């Protein structure tokens, strides 16, 4: 029970992620078949729909923008500041900070992760591991979006007896950049909104908020 409580945040989001992915599959399947009928085609099964490039592209385009959002957020908050926001570091702490502040090498303690203690390349890699993984997940899912989107685009072309394009040709199309940019704009809006709104608004109990009574210009302060 303790494990459940101590991991409730990740578990809760895993559950709602799976539920919404399942929901997306169902409504996406319905939409695909609606389009099939409009074009005089036959509806397909849910199982068949899950193997289509249309479904893969719809999933991947959202994943890539989420991982880009967090990559930029992680990277940006190293150096960029927002007075009064709990999302920002304190105004005099921009940058990678000292080894002592980051508890690496000889400044690590007995409970520090091994790679924080050992120094050298391993500590360097571990020091940037969160950004490395997030960035890699972004690149991977963007690549997946480009491949699945290319296939879905070409399926649409063939449905209209039009010429297909190469993958390189596809990543220059309005279709690829429309899928990409419509997701990016919402992610950047969300982060920017959070950075600003958290200056003036509060949510009691959330670590994403300043304490209710904290002043508006208190920066880098969380509950």
User: Would you count residue 151 as binding other proteins (CB under 8 A)?
Assistant: yes
Shortest distance in whole angstroms from residue 41 CB to other proteins: 6
Please choose, out of 71-79, 104-112, 135-143, 180-188, the segment that lies near other proteins by the rule CB under 8 A. 135-143
Minimum Å gap between C-beta 111 and other proteins is: 27
Spell out a b/e string for 125-156, using b for 16 or more CB atoms within 10 Å of the CB, else e.
Answer: ebbeeebeebbebbeebbebbbbbbbbbbbee
Question: Closest separation between CB of residue 9 and other proteins, Å?
Answer: 22
* Binders in 2-41 for other proteins, by CB under 8 A: 36, 40-41
Q: Are 134 and 65 in contact (CB under 8 A)?
A: no
- Number of residues lying near other proteins (CB under 8 A): 39
Burial (CB count within 10 angstroms: exposed 0-12, middle 13-18, buried 19+), residue 214: middle
Are residues 119 and 126 in contact, defined by beta-carbon separation less than 8 angstroms?
no
Positions in the binding site for other proteins (CB under 8 A): 36, 40-44, 48, 51-54, 56, 60, 133, 136-137, 139-141, 143-145, 147-148, 150-152, 154-164, 167
């Amino acid at each position: 029970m303790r494990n459940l409580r101590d991991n409730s945040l990740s578990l809760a989001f895993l559950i709602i992620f799976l539920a919404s992915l399942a929901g997306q599959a169902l409504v996406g399947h319905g939409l695909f078949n609606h389009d099939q009928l409009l074009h005089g085609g036959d509806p397909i099964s849910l199982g068949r729909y899950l193997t289509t490039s249309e479904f893969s592209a719809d999933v991947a385009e959202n994943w890539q923008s989420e991982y880009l959002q967090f990559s930029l957020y992680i990277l940006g908050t190293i150096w960029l500041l927002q007075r009064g926001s709990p999302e920002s570091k304190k105004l005099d702490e921009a940058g990678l900070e000292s080894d002592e502040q980051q508890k690496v090498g000889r400044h690590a303690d007995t409970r520090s992760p091994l790679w924080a203690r050992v120094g050298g390349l391993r500590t360097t890699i571990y020091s940037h591991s969160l950004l490395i993984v997030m960035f890699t997940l972004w690149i991977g899912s963007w690549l997946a979006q480009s491949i699945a989107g290319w296939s879905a685009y070409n399926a649409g072309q063939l449905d209209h007896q039009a010429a297909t394009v190469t993958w390189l040709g596809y990543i220059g199309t309005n279709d690829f950049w429309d899928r990409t940019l419509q997701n990016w704009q919402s992610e950047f809006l969300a982060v920017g909104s959070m950075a600003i709104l958290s200056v003036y608004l509060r949510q009691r109990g959330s670590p994403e908020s300043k304490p209710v009574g904290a002043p508006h210009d208190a920066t880098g302060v969380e509950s």
